[in-house]
Amino acid sequence: MKKFLLFLIPLSMILSSCGEEKAVDNPFFVEWDTPFGSPPFDQIHEDHFIPAYQEAIRQHQAEIDAIVDNAEAPTFENTIAAYDQAGSMLRRISPVFGGLRGAETNPRLQEIARETTPMLSAHSSAIRMNEGLFERIQAVYNDRNNLDLNKEQMIVVEKMYQDFERGGAALPAEQREELTKISERMSMVSLQLSENHLAENNAFKLIIEDEADLAGLPSHIIAAAAQEATRVDMDGKWVFTTAFPSRVPFLTFAQNRDLRKEMLMGYVNRGDNDNENDNKELFIELMMLRQQMSEILGYDNYAEYFTAIQMAENPQNVYDFLYRVWEPALARAKREKADLQAIINREGSNFKVEAHDWWYYAEQVRKEKYDLDDDEVKPYFTIENVKQGNFMLANKLWGLTFEARPEIPVYHEEVEAYEVFDNDGSHLAILFIDPHPRPGKRSGAWCGTYRSGAWEDGEWVSPIVTIVMNFTRPSGDKPAMLSWDETTTYFHEFGHAVHNFFAQGNFRRTSRSVPRDFVELPSQILENWAGEPELLKSYALHYETGEPIPDELIERLQKSEHFNQGFINTEYLAAAILDMDWHTSNITEDTDVNAFERASMKRIGLIDEIIPRYRTTNFGHIFGGGYAAGYYVYRWAGVLDADAFYAFKESGDLFNPQMAADFRKYILANNALYEGMDAYVNFRGEEPAIEPFLIRSGLK
């Protein structure tokens, strides 16, 4: 559930140094006359990216030079605002390139990325290290209290100064050069780690030839595996992959214990197979580079550097928080393990529960204690129903409405485009929905933007937002039916989308800029409504009968929310602590990835039956910069969203209009004015309590 924040504003381009030919052929050189100015995917060809990037970098550099060479003294307008607006052509290319690389990549795009990544990295380093630019920004910053700036302007000055300072601009020349080299190498290493990760995801296949080995699996899962076999020219066999909709049902239902082990090992060992996609050595290099970078910038380690601008403020606060949840989670996981063992003993099997048994026997516990299996609820959660549920929720809370816009070009036939209208009927945004897995799509689910909402020449340009998922496909003539987990993921990504719909502000730097440990609040809070009867009765309708989900099933569904929470929280927190350990430790060339991981997990007392949700070599979240030393943010935000949702419940009206309006104002729309805890306290009236989270998760 990653989020990538990308920017794009279509503007007419000045074609100073470019040939006419390029301008005619390459859509990035001309204004887009598509509906709502959305990217003309049908005209964009892979070969357009490199020349477009080259020109965009040249233009951006020229804009920066103009700011630096300005003979007038630095002012807010000629320096801060001008820098904030620069780079318009880059803002239209990068979201398209980044979006396609995530959702519809191919070897050619990956090749282009290998060429453009160092180009872009060198460009941003050059800006970050531009002394003339930094001097002007610093001059405005130093004089900021005498400039009669409003609150938003003051924040943007401070953030911009901080960006440069954290990028090393205030350092002596020699250290700046060193830092540039480190960050260029770092971006290449990150890229290679991610590519290996994708290759490893695709490489593992559990191929079944003997029908007897399918025992226990539901028919639609078998059908999907047969379909996958056909897709990879293995007609007549069954192929399971590491993708969630294939792997998790297999681990949950397959009776063949050896094959479950094969599947789990295939999954957890991604990147650790001593083959050409092995990530161990690269990961150590990345850790060392991050450590060097942090030290040059005056921090003890990367976690110090990262948390300095988060709500958490420092690594110790993160550890303290994680341990507060870790202890009750691990205690509960141990009780769950005993439940699993009891079933194994009862069925007369003579073995100790192992990691590859957890899903399978947990499913038995669920049937017994929680009396609910996914196949019972799935018929109510067709992908269309769930989409409508999201639209209804946005309507009940904020009065939004949605209309399909098939005339908007998309990059794949499965992608749907919607126009989003605000509560007064005015145009608010465009939303793309890309629901199913494809070989060129990376795993997981995420939200991004093809264009951010921003002021452009005195006019508001609305956002173009995309949510991308890897949900179960339709099977045969039945519609795609989502598991409960997939259903809540849909609400999650949609929550990020709503955040993007509403974001306001006069400056790009601050209009949607929130701390990482805040960004999952808008997404996670929507998951709470997904399971409330008041909403379920409207959207969870049986795909054949049209009957709403019965009360009795809702009750069991709600009760099941506590199911396996020990395991879920433990495997998550183990990964979050592993991430913090990597980024607070002194790593050298001699550090052994697997030994480090084992020591880290031993220290916190992780039990053998649970493997961290991600192992180091396939921990995609921390390969790039975004969630490194920051995987904790999901639970941090979990505390925020549980407390915020509790406020709605406590008010007696789940869709309390005043609270919804305040949530929009302080949490979603005005991040340029209200930051982190300040935003939260403005909405809630006080800081969040941890109890609603522990209670919701059955940990208290």
Where along the sequence are the contacts to Zn ion (CB under 5 A)? 1, 520, 523
The residue behind tokens 């393990």 is: 337
Q: For Zn ion, give the closer residue by CB, 483 or 523.
A: 523
In the bound complex, what is the minimum distance in angstroms from residue 2's beta carbon to Zn ion? 7
Please report how close the Cβ of residue 6 comes to Zn ion at its closest, in angstroms.
15
CA distances from 522 to 463, 503, 536 (A): 17, 12, 20
One-letter-per-residue 3-state SS of 529-587: HHCCHHHHHHHCECCCCCCECCHHHHHHHHHHHHCCHHHHHHHHHHHHHHHHHHHHCCC
* Cβ at position 636, least distance to Zn ion in Å: 12
End-to-end CA distance of the chain: 26
> Which token pair is 289?
């580079």
State the minimum distance, in angstroms, from the CB of residue 634 to Zn ion. Answer: 7
**Closest separation between CB of residue 495 and Zn ion, Å?**
8
Taking the least distance from each CB to Zn ion, the nearer of 486 and 520 is: 520
CB of 95 to Zn ion, least distance (A): 18
Alpha-carbon separation of residue 285 from 122, 186, 425 (angstroms): 20, 8, 53
The DSSP code sequence of 113-149 is: HHHHHHHHHHHHHHHHT-HHHHHHHHHHHHTGGGTT-
Beta strands in 412-458 (DSSP E): 416-421, 427-434, 446-451, 454-456
State whether residue 687 is helix, strand or coil: coil
493 is catalytic: yes
Distance CA 282, CA 179 (A): 19
Measured from the CB atom, the residue of 272 and 527 that comes closer to Zn ion is 527
Helix (H) or strand (E) holding 308: none
Retrieve residue 457's tokens: 């020449």
Output 391 or 627, the one with its CB closest to Zn ion: 627
Cβ proximity to Zn ion, 240 vs 306, nearer residue: 306
- Cα distance between residue 14 and residue 495, in whole Å: 37
Cα angle: 558, vertex 559, 561; to 5 degrees: 70
Round to whole Å and give the CA distance between 330 and 19. Answer: 64
Q: Quick one: 254 or 526, whose CB is closer to Zn ion? A: 526
Q: How far is the CB of 697 from Zn ion (least distance, A)?
A: 18
Tell me the C-alpha distance between 429 and 447, whole Å. 14
Smallest distance from Zn ion to CB 248, Å: 19
- Choose between 520 and 641: whose C-beta lies nearer to Zn ion: 520
Structure tokens at 592: 């052994």
- Of the pair 190, 523, the CB lying nearest Zn ion is at 523
Least Cβ distance, residue 3 to Zn ion (angstroms): 5
Q: Which residue has the CB atom at the shortest distance from Zn ion?
A: 1
CA 482 to chain centre: 20
Q: Is the dihedral of CA 373, 377, 382, 383 positive or negative?
A: negative
Task: Given the residues 104, 493, 571, 597, select the one marked as catalytic.
Answer: 493
| Residue closer to Zn ion (CB basis): 27 or 638 | 638
> The tokens of 479 are what?
């519609």
H helix and E strand count, the chain? 29, 10
Report helix, strand or coil for 280.
helix
With b for 16 or more beta-carbon neighbours within 10 A and e for fewer, the 272-309 pattern comes to: bbeeebbbbebbbbbbbbbbbbbeebebebbbbbbbeb
The CB-of-492 to Zn ion minimum distance in angstroms stands at: 6
Interstrand relation of 464-468 and 427-434 (parallel, antiparallel or unpaired): parallel
Give the CB-side neighbour count of residue 231, counting CA atoms within 13 A. 15
Cα 447 from Cα 443, distance rounded (Å): 13
By CB neighbour count within 10 A (0-12 exposed, 13-18 middle, 19+ buried), where does 346 fall? Answer: exposed
Residue 249 CA to residue 170 CA, distance in Å, equals 53
Residues linked to residue 298 through DSSP beta bridges, in sequence order: none
Q: Distance between CA atoms of 697 and 564, rounded to whole angstroms? A: 9
* Closer of 1 and 170 to Zn ion (Cβ): 1
Any idea which residues carry the catalytic annotation? 493
